[in-house]
């Protein structure tokens, strides 16, 4: 193992996923020299094992489901999906797990890429060990930014390692549909992958420890998604925990807490995330390895003047779009501090303070039906001490929904702060509702008064007319 001389930069970024890329983009735009350290593929989890491949798998599933609900088209799409074609398109969207294009993008913004495993060894100092064993020492004049993301959390079950379970990575990159698949979990990854693989030919059993699916959303979201999964052929079992799992002669054998024995070809655990901070040298600067990193609204780690943590690692909002938002804030804050400009809360753009990662977080679950939400649920708003009212509307009351599909099913809810008459949260469940959530995010983040929303007229006949129905219901009841 050899070591080169140290190289000084203004900023060193650990992790070249979408979050790290966006930090580097902002710091380079501000004229700061920037190094990016990556041990895997430039583009990170979202590009190769999460957002892009999962949505590429799901899009044909949802398109077929929509088509089957349209007279004049439904009879033409009753057959199975072409699984090989779906997987081939997925492979295209992951660039066949090659990062040449992302590397060219980094080169284009003038950031230096250092491939290898990066570890903090002292304040403002990162040691990078390449696959060839060569070490480089990078020092940062202004900031080191941790953008290493999160990884799948696996339960502590004996023999689990020998089973070689799927995590989200294997679920989105599998080369063929398993004949039988057990999915453990009730959140976004579990419901999306159950949706995808059931449609692609697997017989799916979904084991959920809690009472229902999508527990962080309004209860009706999980109920509607569970109904649809069951209708699609998924065996949904709530209130069920895995007690043991083994692989016998190639077959996965699952034993539940109720004593049921389930056999499958593969098992996917979608049971949570852990920060990828166990081996980045946190102990050398007085922090706990493997911990989430607490930050202020400029994304600077609490108690530090030079260390930032952006994206999943700070545990504020584990979503790619929120991590990219944080990255833009962090990049602006680093640039301002490097130039000696004070960070003013009165900045009209709020460029130096992340607030939307806790006040107005949008999320879409790409199941059939889709579930989309932003802000607080009714329960969260009440727990936070707000005096609120929930307004519910069936999506079938909207003309645009009926045109979208025969027998359209879904529901919308807005949570109104009665003191200020603004919206604290909205949830939509139904086909195509993912495209509604940005308007809801604007209403929540902008604290738009309901009296003004009344004059934001939705086009007819579109699903967006659900806004009018929600406002009418609030006014008239």
- What is the rounded distance in angstroms from the CA atom of residue 294 to the CA atom of residue 270? 24
The pLDDT profile of the chain, 477 residues, written as one tens digit per residue, is: 455 678 999 999 999 999 999 999 999 999 999 999 999 999 999 999 999 999 999 999 999 999 999 999 999 999 999 999 999 999 999 999 999 999 999 999 999 999 999 999 999 999 999 999 999 999 999 999 999 999 999 999 999 999 999 999 999 999 999 999 999 999 999 999 999 999 999 999 999 999 999 999 999 999 999 999 999 999 999 999 999 999 999 999 999 999 999 999 999 999 999 999 999 999 999 999 999 999 999 999 999 999 999 999 999 999 999 999 999 999 999 999 999 877 765 455 667 888 888 889 999 999 999 999 999 999 999 999 999 999 999 999 999 999 999 999 999 999 999 999 999 999 999 999 999 999 999 999 999 999 999 999 999 999 999 999 999 999 998
Annotated binding site for NAD(+): 185-192, 272
- What is the rounded distance in angstroms from the CA atom of residue 142 to the CA atom of residue 26? 14
- What is the rounded distance in angstroms from the CA atom of residue 339 to the CA atom of residue 359? 29
| Cα four-point dihedral sign 326, 331, 334, 339 | negative
Residue 46: closest CA among 85, 12, 19, 13: 19
Burial of 245 by CB count in 10 Å (0-12 exposed, 13-18 middle, 19+ buried)?
Answer: buried
Judge if 177 and 256 occupy the same domain.
yes
> Is there a contact between 252 and 163 (Cβ–Cβ < 8 Å)?
yes
Which residues are CB-contacts of 311 (< 8 A; sequence separation ≥ 6)? Answer: 15, 17, 19, 20, 147, 149, 323, 326, 327
Judge if 233 and 248 occupy the same domain.
yes
End-to-end CA distance of the chain: 73
Which residues are CB-contacts of 162 (< 8 A; sequence separation ≥ 6)? Answer: 246, 247
> Is there a contact between 268 and 181 (Cβ–Cβ < 8 Å)?
yes
Judge if 33 and 118 occupy the same domain.
yes
How many structural domains is the chain composed of? 3
pLDDT of residue 167: 97
Residue 264 lies in a domain: yes
Judge if 287 and 139 occupy the same domain.
yes
Judge if 265 and 303 occupy the same domain.
no
Last residue of a domain, one of 286, 318, 339: 339
CATH number of the domain where residue 34 is located: 3.50.50.60
Judge if 378 and 463 occupy the same domain.
yes
pLDDT of residue 353: 85
Residue 356 lies in a domain: no
- According to the 3-state scheme, what is the secondary structure of 261-278? EEEECEEEECCCEEECCC
Strand locations in 378-434, DSSP E?
388-394, 411-417, 422-430
Judge if 193 and 120 occupy the same domain.
no
Judge if 303 and 254 occupy the same domain.
no
Residue 395: closest CA among 414, 377, 379, 408: 408
Last residue of a domain, one of 242, 271, 300: 271
Annotated binding site for FAD: 55, 118, 148-150, 312
> Is there a contact between 252 and 223 (Cβ–Cβ < 8 Å)?
no
Phi, psi of 251, deg, nearest 5: -100, 130
Distances (CA, A) of 166 to 10, 215, 241: 40, 22, 17
pLDDT of residue 1: 45
pTM: 0.95
- What is the rounded distance in angstroms from the CA atom of residue 454 to the CA atom of residue 352? 32
- What is the rounded distance in angstroms from the CA atom of residue 16 to the CA atom of residue 327? 12
Judge if 129 and 11 occupy the same domain.
yes
Q: Scanning the structure block, which residue is given the tokens 């190289």? A: 7
Cis peptide before 461 (omega within 30 of 0): yes
Residue 262, domain extent? 160-271
- What is the rounded distance in angstroms from the CA atom of residue 357 to the CA atom of residue 184? 28
Annotated binding site: 55, 118, 148-150, 185-192, 272, 312
Phi, psi of 8, deg, nearest 5: -100, 135
């Amino acid at each position: 193992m050899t070591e080169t001389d140290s190289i000084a930069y203004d900023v060193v970024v650990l992790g070249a996923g979408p979050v790290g890329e966006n930090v580097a983009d902002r710091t380079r735009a501000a004229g700061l020299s920037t190094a990016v350290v990556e041990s895997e593929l430039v583009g990170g989890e979202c590009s190769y094992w999460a957002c892009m491949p999962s949505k590429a798998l799901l899009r044909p599933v949802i398109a077929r489901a929509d088509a089957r609900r349209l007279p004049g088209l439904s009879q033409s799409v009753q057959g199975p999906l072409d699984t090989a074609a779906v997987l081939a398109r997925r492979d295209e969207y992951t660039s066949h797990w090659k990062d040449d294009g992302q590397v060219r993008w980094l080169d284009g913004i003038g950031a230096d890429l250092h491939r290898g495993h990066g570890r903090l060894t002292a304040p403002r100092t990162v040691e990078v060990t390449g696959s060839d064993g060569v070490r480089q020492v990078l020092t940062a004049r202004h900031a080191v930014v941790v953008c290493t993301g999160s990884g799948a959390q696996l339960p502590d079950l004996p023999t689990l390692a020998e089973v070689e379970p799927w995590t989200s990575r294997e679920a989105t990159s599998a080369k063929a549909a398993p004949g039988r698949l057990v999915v453990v979990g009730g959140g976004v990854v579990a419901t999306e992958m159950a949706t995808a693989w059931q449609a692609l030919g697997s017989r799916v059993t979904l084991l959920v420890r809690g009472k229902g699916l999508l527990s962080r959303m309004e209860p009706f979201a999980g109920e509607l998604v569970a109904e649809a999964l069951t209708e699609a052929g998924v065996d949904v079992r709530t209130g069920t925990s895995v007690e043991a799992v083994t692989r016998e002669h190639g077959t996965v054998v699952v034993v539940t807490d109720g004593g049921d024995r389930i056999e499958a070809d593969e098992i996917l655990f979608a049971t949570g995330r852990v920060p990828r901070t166990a081996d980045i040298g946190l102990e050398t600067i007085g922090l706990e390895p493997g911990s989430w990193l607490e930050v202020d609204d400029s994304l600077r780690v609490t108690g530090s003047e030079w260390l930032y943590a952006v994206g999943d690692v700070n545990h504020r909002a584990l979503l790619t779009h929120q991590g990219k938002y944080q990255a833009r804030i962090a990049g602006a804050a680093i640039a301002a501090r490097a130039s000696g400009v004070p960070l003013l809360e009165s900045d009209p753009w709020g460029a130096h303070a992340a607030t939307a990662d806790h006040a107005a977080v949008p999320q879409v679950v790409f199941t059939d039906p889709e579930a989309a939400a932003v802000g607080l649920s009714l329960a969260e708003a009440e727990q936070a001490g707000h005096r609120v009212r929930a307004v519910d509307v069936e999506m079938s009351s909207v003309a645009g929904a009926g045109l979208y599909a025969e027998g359209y099913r879904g529901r919308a809810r807005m949570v109104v702060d009665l003191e200020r008459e603004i919206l604290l949260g909205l949830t939509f469940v139904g086909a195509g509702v993912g495209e509604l959530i940005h308007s809801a995010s604007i209403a929540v983040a902008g604290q738009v008064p309901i009296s003004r929303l009344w004059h934001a007229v939705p086009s007819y006949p579109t699903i967006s007319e659900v806004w009018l129905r929600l406002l009418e219901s609030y006014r008239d009841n």
